[in-house]
Structure 1
């Protein structure tokens, strides 16, 4: 069993770019004035706040109590919830999700849960990691896991589907897909790869003794340097995003 622990302040410092790069998803969501919107995987509420500012009645949902607290501190209703089994039924005009679905490794359960939360004709607008996302990082994590005596396959915490796979799953859950695109997006890491790993690689390090965690991350960073660090020491993650809009039939 793997888990990821989130710290709102660390996330803001080392992964604040996630919300910034998610802004085009707000355009895909479109006008929301007077609508009921669920932000699934709301994180610290940066995009949730923007949805609210556009006139929506928005609710945030996240598996992390700390992230929910950070969202609520912005004056936004939010609750701790598991995306695989959301506690809502026919409540929302749209479900919005940025950079969260790839952490939910039972995708069919998630899509059925989202469908239950939507009213008929409701929209599901989301962006997540897609096929090929952080490919170099995954390889390095698997290699380091083997070196440190970990079972990499058991620890792997992400689901990065292709457009065809996600489209099939959406249709099976009762959605009509309006658009679905795989978007290569090399992403500069303002605070470096080691801080990216500290922020996102918790499922890999939680099974190591405390004094072995930093050496593990440093080993991963060292393997990635030839591919992802330029001559000036700047790091770029090999992000590939899957963005879609679907409508509940």
Structure 2
């Protein structure tokens, strides 16, 4: 999984788009209220709070790879909730859960075969995986404009040979990987979701360009964001979401 830290405070402010998607995904996870649920990639805890409210007799475990996100989530969630920094590709909870929920996270992990094995291992028999992430075609149009800026002076030297950290998988490939990892009742589908963020430059810098900005000298980062925002104006991000529903066999 990518290891960069995130600007948690800004993400918490500008992530209404991801939060809205997550609420829709959460509607697919029917809960009785007494389960143990893993929020795999909890971010700042906005969606985790909603899950907590749906578990009056259950438990939430929230993990994220970003220390700043986890710090924000701990401040947001019930103090008794287990909130930890964890790499999903090496997930080892030490206990089994009834459901794994994940929103806008799994495309940051390069090896989906291993990822799905770890998520299956985290589930009790009969447990469900309900997730959404970036899928095949995600941000293709935006990335064309972004690449034109990144591969032009004065930024081109920072991106020579770099392909980025994303794994935008197809529904077909994801279905095969989930079945190979031992899941059943697998359903995967793509969903175009174009959006126009309310704060374009803040959204780009925090959500879309974080890995790029790590490669750009600090004194050029604001200029890079401005150039990308200008090249993509008026900003409409051509998101494509990969939806995942699957179950671990009961026996």
Do residues 112 (structure 1) and 109 (structure 2) align? no
The aligned residue for residue 74 of structure 2 is 72
Q: How many residues align?
A: 240
How many Å separate the matches in 2 of 1:61 and 1:2?
14
1:157 to 159, 165, 171: 165
Conserved? CA contact 1:40–1:97, under 8 Å: yes
Scaled by the length of structure 1, the TM-score of the pair is: 0.90
Conserved? CA contact 1:132–1:160, under 8 Å: yes
Do residues 58 (structure 1) and 65 (structure 2) align? no
How many Å separate the matches in 1 of 2:238 and 2:133?
14
Displacement over 2 Å in runs of 4+: 1-5, 140-145, 150-155
Cα drift, residue 28 of structure 1: 0.6
CA RMSD of aligned residues (A): 1.8
How many Å separate the matches in 2 of 1:9 and 1:99?
17
Cα drift, residue 2 of structure 1: 6.4
Do residues 87 (structure 1) and 92 (structure 2) align? yes
How many Å separate the matches in 2 of 1:5 and 1:137?
23
The aligned residue for residue 128 of structure 1 is 133
Cα drift, residue 181 of structure 1: 1.6
The aligned residue for residue 41 of structure 1 is 41
Structure 2: unaligned runs, 5 residues or longer: none
How many Å separate the matches in 2 of 1:68 and 1:195?
21
Scaled by the length of structure 2, the TM-score of the pair is: 0.89
How many Å separate the matches in 1 of 2:247 and 2:160?
36
How many Å separate the matches in 2 of 1:117 and 1:2?
21
Q: Which structure has the highest strand share of the two?
A: 1
Do residues 184 (structure 1) and 186 (structure 2) align? no
Conserved? CA contact 1:145–1:152, under 8 Å: no
The aligned residue for residue 11 of structure 1 is 11
